[in-house]
């Protein structure tokens, strides 16, 4: 039986775009400040999940809601289950958009909107892949479960709850990365580094009152702000600094208060080199000023150990594995308030061959003079790898090659996807060109042609794996 998967997708394109638009319209970034008993992660994540499940109900699938934290759309029967893991939450929109972030806009062959690439677009593509298989009445021997989380961008509360109450699939993939396949994912740990020795200050021409930057632990900070007090004229020095570096900024002075802001470029922390870390650039400027002792030390630490050092080379944690590649270290959250214990959060993604305790120990030793206190997030992940010899990997690569005419190959990323929830779990698409990765960035988009191509790939993959 020959199936024209692309034709099946084309016939459903209008409804696919309508469903995607409905999801994009929901700002589903986690909102703990407004959480309730019925919206445990905020209204946005809940509403996006409910919308996705409503789409499944509309089309006649079996659905299940797990405490408004996770959900499932299911089709077929069998003792073995194929799982597809996606997520309904997004990172905050941030600044720099030229379109409305929560409105699906088609322009120049691209679909713009927060979540079009990560992960609402791929979620709809996977859903319609399953719908095509169902509509065609193709015989399956395994159950297919589309499982949706609501906080993949933070600590996976949704899927953690799901695992407590539901049986997990036997194998599967997550449409939340790149083609041709991601069969390896680095370990991930968020390290909060506190500096208790920097609570006291001394008299100086300039006092650092506060330093703040960052939105999430998995986003390179686009903006950073420092507030100083003093009478020193910094205009000429700051103007020269901006001219010499790939950032923009502003200086405002009201009486003795000086506010400095720097704007860089946001990026996903799995590839910090794709961004411009506003915080480390601002710290590099501050480190050259005649600051109070605590403020000077905080800025100097950032400049010396974190600025333009996204492989951890100045923290003695640089490491490379032949298969999984380099360790990355992205400083993403910064908190400094005069008189209080300052801290920063370092997002580390590491290959097999090194572990989180060793990383922490080496940072502790490197910063020993400051008697730092390092705390690892409870939501840490060890490296994950599925052999290319596994039938799951082999089948997905074959499908990719048949649908694209391009050679398939294994790959490892620094991102953490739901694929690692299963021993035989991988990430599969939906990004075709890693050079066009705009996940977590302003003006996020997915090429319309790629969105449709991914749907055809998912349809065939679901059939091949579950038949």
Contact partners, residue 44, CB within 8 Å, separation at least 6: 26, 27, 28, 29, 30, 31, 89
Specify whether the CB–CB gap between 127 and 180 falls below 8 A. Answer: no
Among residues 150, 181, 260, 163, the alpha carbon closest in space to that of 213 is found at 260
Among residues 457, 428, 456, the alpha carbon closest in space to that of 178 is found at 428
Q: Give catalytic residues, as residue numbers.
A: 89, 152
Beta bridge partners of 148: 71, 86
3-state secondary structure of 177: strand
Specify whether the CB–CB gap between 436 and 449 falls below 8 A. Answer: no
Instruction: List, in sequence order, the alpha helices (H) in 230-277.
Output: 235-244
Contact partners, residue 111, CB within 8 Å, separation at least 6: 17, 20, 104, 105, 121, 445, 446, 447, 448, 451
Specify whether the CB–CB gap between 286 and 213 falls below 8 A. Answer: no
Instruction: List, in sequence order, the alpha helices (H) in 197-334.
Output: 235-244, 278-286, 293-305
Contact partners, residue 288, CB within 8 Å, separation at least 6: 237
3-state helix, strand, coil in the chain (%, to 5): 35, 25, 40
């Amino acid at each position: 039986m020959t199936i024209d998967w692309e034709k099946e997708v084309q016939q459903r394109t209008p409804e696919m775009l309508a469903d995607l638009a409905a999801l994009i319209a929901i700002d589903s970034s986690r909102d703990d400040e407004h959480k309730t008993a019925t919206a445990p992660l905020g209204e946005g994540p809940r509403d996006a999940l409910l919308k996705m499940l409503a789409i499944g109900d509309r089309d006649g699938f079996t659905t299940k809601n797990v405490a408004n934290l996770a959900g499932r759309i299911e089709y077929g029967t069998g003792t073995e289950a194929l799982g597809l893991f996606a997520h309904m939450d997004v990172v905050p929109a941030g600044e720099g958009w030229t379109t409305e972030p929560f409105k699906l806009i088609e322009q120049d062959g691209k679909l713009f909107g927060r979540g079009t690439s990560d992960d609402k677009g791929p979620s709809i593509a996977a859903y319609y892949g399953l719908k095509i298989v169902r509509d065609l009445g193709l015989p399956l021997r395994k159950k297919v479960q589309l499982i949706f989380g609501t906080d993949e961008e933070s600590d996976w509360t949704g899927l953690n709850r799901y695992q407590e109450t539901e049986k997990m699939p036997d194998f599967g993939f997550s449409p939340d990365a790149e083609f041709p396949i991601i069969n390896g994912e680095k370990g991930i740990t968020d390290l909060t580094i506190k500096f208790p020795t920097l609570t006291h200050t001394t008299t100086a021409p300039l006092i650092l009152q506060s330093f703040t930057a960052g939105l999430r632990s998995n986003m390179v900070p686009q903006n950073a702000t420092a507030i100083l007090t003093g009478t020193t004229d910094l205009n000429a020095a700051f103007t020269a600094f901006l001219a010499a570096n790939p950032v923009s900024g502003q200086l405002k002075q009201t009486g003795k208060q000086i506010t400095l802001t720097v704007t860089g470029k946001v990026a996903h922390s799995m590839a910090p080199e794709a961004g411009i870390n506003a915080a480390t650039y601002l710290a590099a400027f501050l480190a050259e000023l005649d600051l109070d002792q605590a403020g000077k030390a905080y800025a100097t630490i950032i400049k010396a150990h974190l600025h333009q050092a996204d492989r951890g080379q100045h923290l003695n944690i640089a490491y490379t594995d032949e298969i999984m590649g380099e360790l990355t270290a992205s400083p993403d959250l910064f908190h400094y308030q005069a008189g209080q214990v300052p801290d920063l959060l370092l997002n580390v993604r590491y290959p097999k061959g090194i572990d989180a305790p060793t990383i922490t120990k080496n940072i502790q030793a490197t910063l020993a003079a400051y008697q730092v206190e390092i705390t690892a997030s409870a939501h840490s992940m060890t490296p994950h790898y599925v052999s290319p010899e596994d039938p799951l990997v082999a089948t997905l690569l074959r499908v990719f090659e048949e649908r694209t005419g391009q050679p398939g190959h294994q790959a490892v990323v620094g991102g953490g996807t739901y694929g690692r929830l299963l021993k035989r779990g991988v990430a599969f698409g939906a990004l075709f060109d890693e050079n066009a990765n705009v996940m977590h960035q302003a003006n996020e988009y997915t090429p319309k042609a790629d969105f449709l191509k991914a749907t055809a790939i998912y349809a065939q993959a679901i059939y091949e794996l579950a038949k």
